[in-house]
Structure 1
Amino acid sequence: MINAAKFISSTLRPSYLLTIVTVVRQDGAAAEHSRLVSISLSPPISYRKHGTDWVQDSLKPVDVPRLLLPLSSWLVFLLVGLSIGLVSGVVSMATVWISNAKTGFCASSVWTISKITCHQWRRWSDWKLVNYIIYVVLSTLFAFIAAITVKKLSRRSAGSGIGEMKSIIAGFENPEYLRLPVLLVKTCTLPFAIASGLSIGKEGPSVHVACCIGELVASLFPYFHKSKLKVREILIAASAAGVACAFGSPIGGVMFSIEEMTHTYTTKMIWRSFFCALAATAMLSALNPFQTDGKLVLFQVTYDRNWHFFEIIYFIVLGVFGGLFGTLVIKLNMLYSKFRQNHLRNNGVMEVVLLAFLTAIICYPNPFLRIDQTESMSVLFRECDGIGGARSEENFGICDSGEDWTTINRTLLATLLRTLLLIITYGAQVPAGIFVPSLAAGATFGRLVGTLSRMVYSRYSHIPLFGECRSDAQCITPGTYALLGAAASLSGVMRIWVTIPIIIFELTGALNYILPTMIVVITTKAVCDFISGGEAGIADQMVRMNGMPVLTRDDDNYFNVRISGVMKRRVVVLEESVKVADLDRVLEEEEYSGYPVVQSTQSMKLVGYVDADVLQQRLASLAALSQHSVVRFSNRRTIFDAQNEEQDGSTGNQEIDLSDIVNDMPISMSPSTTVDVVMKMFKKIGPRVVLITRLGVLQGLVTVKDLLEETEMLRVGNERAIKATKASIGEDVADFWNRLKQGVQGVSKVMRWRGR
């Protein structure tokens, strides 16, 4: 049985009552009843800003002729892809040129972008100390330029931007992150931020920049800009194009947009995303930003050798490292990010400058940390033509067997320092991504493992384990270990398991290394699930920490929790008939996105749901609207309505029928539905609100924010329960050990007594 348990007093006339109603079930226990009443006394939470209602947006009429609609769609995605490729190429050229300026210049041509294409590369001075000082000063200067520009012009340009783009694609209305100033500031400061030597990358900001470009191009076409659903498709395709340009991987970019950026996708959207990513990579290839033979990224490599069965042991080691690395980075970075929010919020520029200064001082002595991270990976991924060689100096001795221990020491130190710097740098107040630093840390560790395995083979090549290696060929290729280590670390941090093998395949073009990559990624996932219980990657963690109302991938594991314990029971409802004056007052005072319409507050029988914006627009379009006019949201007529109509007619009041704007079949679910089902409903369909009804009677409603609050409470409770269980187990183990120790001591005393 359902009834209204509490009414808030109102000065409105009873026949046109608009009131806040708390619905309480009477068939629950007394404890449950008191708990619900205590919840009902809290103020209602506004859900106007909780997101876009994709269901209602998809029902909007199309203004473009049906024959021109497919052509205009492909044209928009083509323009978005070409624009992203153009901007990405310019950013890549500026980044490489500014980064190389820290170590020297090209004597043959100052404007030569890369060291690879320069025939006369020179350092700033023959004195190592002078070069050291110049390196530190320029790194600090570049960091200051990026940080102060972001602070003065656009604070929303800081950070990666992937979390914000995920929230916008999920429906959270935050258009400030897609404005033109954000695009300009992030594009201009990104090269300086990366050139400063901070442990950051451009891949995350590239996604943000690409989405800004997509929004800007969509604004040129009214049909796309008016439809939020179409804008979302453009943003998803733009994110795919951004990753495609960052890695030179169009298929990997599409998989990233599916796996990381959105919960819903269709075949049409996949094809358009691929078309957009292909157009972007084609433009980037035409620009040839690095002046190389078809390389879209500096660390793009090819491998001619095959792997051997015994190397699976080393691949598993790399996978274990990826899981441990990802878990450590996520946990510690979240802790440091909270510390940054509480204590360093107003000192963002100073923090960035100090980080750049310390990073430059620490990294300069190590050649793998001194050069740009992408250039460092191109060296670590390299397949040596033989032991030693004329290019030993350019390779920092990694191909010289006589310098194996030097390489091990350098790569071990680079892995530790890169991990530490990544933890404290990601999230600073500059455009900062986490892809490349994670890849670089994994690449140094992978090269370390590869060098050790090569040393083991050189020492024990005669044992049967290495029997499948030919004596006339090099058995171990350390460069492949660096590549697999990079894949393990990135998948451990981002928790994307399908995209990584595809990107690795497109980077190397070696189909025979798909299986090793999958072995590494699967091992990484197993370790991550074992340690952290399947938690989401760092992007989703940032979304949760920043309080964005977006459901992440690990928010649907609540199978035994019913939605009746999560829903809001204090609901602002509209009756079927209401005066215009009372309706205007509610629209002005409340900040809700819509209102359930019921027959009466006594019965709470659901009639439908009306959108607040549509209602305001409809009322504004009515000319000479009297405040005493009556608005009807339903065509249903009763004998009491006829009496009210006679009274209103005698007083000259006008009746307005707005039943056409009422959704008479809103998305509703039973109170016994579990939370995970409702979450899937929000993810797949995308409503702004789900009404909870039983036998047609409204009992409450639930939004994304309600679900997030509940899941956060459950997560904290589970963590406390796990800690308590561990503490209890620890106490039991300690008690058992003490008893065992006492028993052993007693036995020893008895043995000594008998020995006497």
Structure 2
Amino acid sequence: MERDSQNRGESSRRPSAKDWALGLGMGIRKRLLGDPAGISYGAADFPYASTATPSLLHSRQEQMYDADRAMRIHRTASSAHTRAYSRTDSVALNAEDRLHTQTKEKGANQAGDFRVIDTINETSRYLERENNKFISMREQIAVMYTVLTVTGLVTGVIGVFLDDAVEYLTSLRTGICTSSFFLTEHLCCLSSGEGDCPDFLLWGGESDTKSYMVNLGFAVIYGFSSAFLVKRFAPYAAGSGIPEIKAVLNGCVMRGYLSGWTMVVKILGLTLSVAAGLNLGKEGPVVHLACCVAFLTANCFKLFRYNETSIRDVLSCACAAGVATAFGAPVGGILFAYEEASTYFPNHVLWRAFFCATVAALVLRWSNPFFDGSLVMFRVKENVQWYWFELLPIAVVGILGGFIGYLWIKLNLQWMKIKMRNSWFRRSPIIETICLVFLTVSANWVFPFLRQTNSSLLSTLFAGCSSEDMTTSSSWSDLLCHNSRKPELITILTYGVIQKFLLSALTFGSRVPAGLFIPSLTVGSMFGTLVGMGVHTVASSYPEFFLFRDCTSATFCAAGSVYAIVGAASVLAGVTQVSVSLAVIMLELTDRLNLLLPLMITILLAKMVTNFFGTPSIYDSYVHMKRYPYLEPGAIIENELADASRVMSKKVICIPATGTTIHQLEELYKTTKTFGFPIVEDLETKQLVGYLARIELKVALQTAKRHTGVDANTPVEFPKDYDITSSFVDFEGNVNFGKYCDLFVAQVFPDSPLSKVYALMQETGSQHTVVVDGGKVVGIISKKDLISFIDQSEDIPRKYFL
């Protein structure tokens, strides 16, 4: 513990009762679950170690990949390979302080202290380590589909719980059902029959002021509870979670982010924050919850527990199940996982994602959430049609929707910049949430139409007007479908667009679980409805004009629901910059295949507008803003003169292939912080032989300790011709560490263009690239070095604080 504290640069302190309890809990856990890898932390791991200075080379590379610091969130973890994450706030910096710290770090550290896996070598490391513990293909398939089935089932159950809990708590803000207190307002009125719903008691009665005060009181309680749970118990539960999922699937290890504690707090916090009426949605966070379920389930099996690559395949499938549960869109979920979330998505993952999303959709269908036997979330009342002349206004909706998305990203990032620079926001997330709740409830109370939840607003606007609505005055049909109330509707929708645009931009990024899908769709649907009303007015005023002759009826020419749907898609496309998956999700949401072409046009134009301004999606912006070690696919480095020599760390800690002892390697592990070591023939020529990851060095040393006859002075060698039949200790008494070296080592020359280095590391998932000149190691480049150089040189325009 003393050495751990020194490595972190923390002052020594007397252990508190909380620390003793955590240590005791982890000790019991280790006894019960075992420690298959035989790995633990502390100086006691190395009986041959002393305080002598190691003879191997040390350098600035020590500052780059501090594996101990990367694991400081869980310094009590029993195994470096165990992925069962525990609570994050009790033993380390909370997420707010981490975010603030990362913005101040320079150079190689600005990507954060998170460990990065070497994707291309991860599987081979696992196979080499487990070569004596063969698992048959049938067993692997059985384990894989067990994990996928459990993930789909549990994700579906969580989705159903969130829907029911949010609806009930939202209804409780208005009143309570006197006949059955557990029923929502909608179900209570259905059970009491037609009429004024006498069984549902309004808290404020006929007084609008009393209703507002009670509604606000419940909303503040919900908001306070959500922010308190996140701040006190699980800071990782805040936000959408999709930016972090993108970083994890790109190879970043975030300890605590996928823990069971984070999952529980996120479920409770998300329920409360959405029920508070904030301009946020639960759809994005469900993806995070699905990944938590997949991760915790996979870690029950050793096949996944030590294999980061397989874990990421399962997480990709979980993303598909999350979207399938959130929107009732299994096919759209698969495409979302492929297009937006995953960096590496091989063909076998596509089939597994299909399976997982199907299981989640079956659970959702069994629960019958919409009481119509389908998964269609927003049903259109009649089979609305669009006409060829409408392609022009639809294109305008797409362009303006993309521009709205661009402005939304700009405003949100500027607001996040202010919050990160102001310590008050970091210290007072609960007060910030209460202020947002007060602003949101007060702004919505101006017009009764806007007091609905965002999902209800979307249902109303997407449904449109039927022929029956034109002659009745039920619900909101009188406001939407009668020409006499058009001025009032225009006023409400214009106010709603501005208000929800501003409040959603201020709310996303607050310290509560929050998604942006539904708020973006709501803004876009109201904006699209306004455009549709204008087109309908023109078409109705000039029915003989040749462009409008195809309209069979002025009533349904330029139907408002069409423009609400394409408007919602355009704004969401501008904010998230997803395309194919969004088109499919919108089709599954509305069950209107005839709107495919308008949707494709608006999404295409919206994405082109945001690309024209050079603005990345909100998720990519948050990835870069939080300095996650993430290499964006397709990024272009415009400086053609930049080469590997400008980025590489010139002083490299190398290990000679022969002539090293157990004692020296133990000292190297204790006193350095680098994440890996190139293996060279000797320290003079530095001819590259291989690469040894820090975590593999620890496994090798632990294995050596268990062999009789191995002591501190036992020689270690890293042979070039190692194979799995080689003995761990040869007849001369040398320990063979060849099995722990990586089989693939990415290499570039000093004059290699930086754009090629970027493409190599991004496409292969390499954690490091060794720079060689004539086979001699002259430097090393890490992901964090590359990100640091790009940000500092601005070869790529900065993707945050625009």
CA distance in 2, matches of 1:13, 1:153: 41
The corresponding residue for 2:520 is 438
Query: How much has 1:166 moved relative to structure 2?
Result: 1.4
Q: Is residue 2:651 matched to residue 1:570?
A: yes
When normalised by structure 2's length, the TM-score is 0.79
Q: What are the equivalent positions in structure 2 for 1:527-566 lying under 5 Å apart?
A: 527-531=609-613, 533=614, 535-553=615-633, 555-558=635-638, 560=640, 561-566=642-647
Structure 2 unpaired stretches of 5+ = 1-49, 62-106, 722-731
Q: What amino acid is aligned across from residue 57 of structure 2 in structure 1?
A: T
Cα-to-partner distance string for 1:603-638 (whole Å, 9 max, x where unaligned)? 2211111122222222222234333332222369xx
CA distance in 1, matches of 2:320, 2:270: 19
Query: How much has 1:698 moved relative to structure 2?
Result: 1.4
CA distance in 1, matches of 2:211, 2:475: 18
| Contact 1:303 1:510 survives alignment (8 Å) | no
Cα-to-partner distance string for 1:286-330 (whole Å, 9 max, x where unaligned)? 11234x103446434465122101111211121122211111111
Structure 1 segments of 4 or more deviating over 6 A? 11-14, 42-48
C-alpha change, 1:191 and 1:305, in structure 2 (3 Å) is same
Query: How much has 1:104 moved relative to structure 2?
Result: 3.2
CA distance in 2, matches of 1:512, 1:175: 45
| Contact 1:48 1:593 survives alignment (8 Å) | no
Q: What is the aligned counterpart of 2:737 among 658, 683, 703? A: 658
Identity %: 29
CA distance in 2, matches of 1:518, 1:212: 33
| Contact 1:312 1:516 survives alignment (8 Å) | yes
Q: What secondary structure does 1:521 align onto? A: helix
Q: What is the aligned counterpart of 1:390 among 464, 472, 478? A: 472
Q: Is residue 2:789 matched to residue 1:710?
A: yes
CA distance in 2, matches of 1:682, 1:450: 48
Query: How much has 1:393 moved relative to structure 2?
Result: 3.3
CA distance in 2, matches of 1:46, 1:284: 39
Q: What is the aligned counterpart of 1:304 among 379, 383, 390? A: 383
Q: Is residue 2:566 matched to residue 1:480?
A: no
Q: What are the equivalent positions in structure 2 for 1:305-704 lying under 5 Å apart?
A: 305-343=384-422, 344-386=425-467, 388-395=470-477, 397-471=479-553, 474-531=556-613, 533=614, 535-553=615-633, 555-558=635-638, 560=640, 561-576=642-657, 577-622=659-704, 623-634=708-719, 655-663=734-742, 665-704=744-783
CA distance in 1, matches of 2:683, 2:307: 35
Query: How much has 1:385 moved relative to structure 2?
Result: 0.9
The corresponding residue for 1:206 is 286
The corresponding residue for 2:214 is 134
Q: What is the aligned counterpart of 2:142 among 66, 71, 94? A: 71
The corresponding residue for 1:261 is 341
Q: What are the equivalent positions in structure 2 for 1:740-755 lying under 5 Å apart?
A: none
The corresponding residue for 2:171 is 100
CA distance in 1, matches of 2:502, 2:645: 45
Query: How much has 1:107 moved relative to structure 2?
Result: 4.9
Q: What amino acid is aligned across from residue 790 of structure 2 in structure 1?
A: T
Q: What secondary structure does 2:735 align onto? A: strand
Q: What amino acid is aligned across from residue 367 of structure 2 in structure 1?
A: L
CA distance in 2, matches of 1:479, 1:90: 29
The corresponding residue for 1:54 is 119
| Contact 1:146 1:190 survives alignment (8 Å) | yes
| Contact 1:691 1:700 survives alignment (8 Å) | yes
The corresponding residue for 1:196 is 276
| Contact 1:46 1:591 survives alignment (8 Å) | no
Cα-to-partner distance string for 1:541-578 (whole Å, 9 max, x where unaligned)? 11111111112246344472322322222211112222
Please say which structure displays the higher CA radius of gyration: 1
Q: What amino acid is aligned across from residue 665 of structure 2 in structure 1?
A: L
| Contact 1:323 1:524 survives alignment (8 Å) | yes
C-alpha change, 1:557 and 1:288, in structure 2 (3 Å) is farther
CA distance in 2, matches of 1:322, 1:84: 32
Count of residue correspondences: 675
Moved more, 345-354 or 52-61: 52-61
Q: Over aligned residues, Cα RMSD in angstroms? A: 2.8
Cα-to-partner distance string for 1:226-258 (whole Å, 9 max, x where unaligned)? 221111111111111111111110011011111
Q: What amino acid is aligned across from residue 681 of structure 1 in structure 2?
A: L
Q: What amino acid is aligned across from residue 628 of structure 2 in structure 1?
A: M
The corresponding residue for 1:739 is none
C-alpha change, 1:45 and 1:208, in structure 2 (3 Å) is closer
When normalised by structure 1's length, the TM-score is 0.84
C-alpha change, 1:699 and 1:367, in structure 2 (3 Å) is farther
| Contact 2:290 2:319 survives alignment (8 Å) | yes
Moved more, 450-459 or 88-97: 450-459
Q: What are the equivalent positions in structure 2 for 1:93-172 lying under 5 Å apart?
A: 93-113=164-184, 115=186, 118-119=189-190, 120=192, 121=197, 122=200, 123-124=202-203, 125-172=205-252
Q: What secondary structure does 1:549 align onto? A: coil
Query: How much has 1:428 moved relative to structure 2?
Result: 0.8
CA distance in 1, matches of 2:382, 2:692: 61
Q: What amino acid is aligned across from residue 308 of structure 1 in structure 2?
A: Y
The corresponding residue for 1:650 is none
The corresponding residue for 1:183 is 263
The corresponding residue for 2:79 is none
C-alpha change, 1:44 and 1:495, in structure 2 (3 Å) is closer
The corresponding residue for 1:293 is 372
C-alpha change, 1:414 and 1:635, in structure 2 (3 Å) is closer
Query: How much has 1:520 moved relative to structure 2?
Result: 0.5
The corresponding residue for 1:247 is 327
C-alpha change, 1:395 and 1:193, in structure 2 (3 Å) is farther
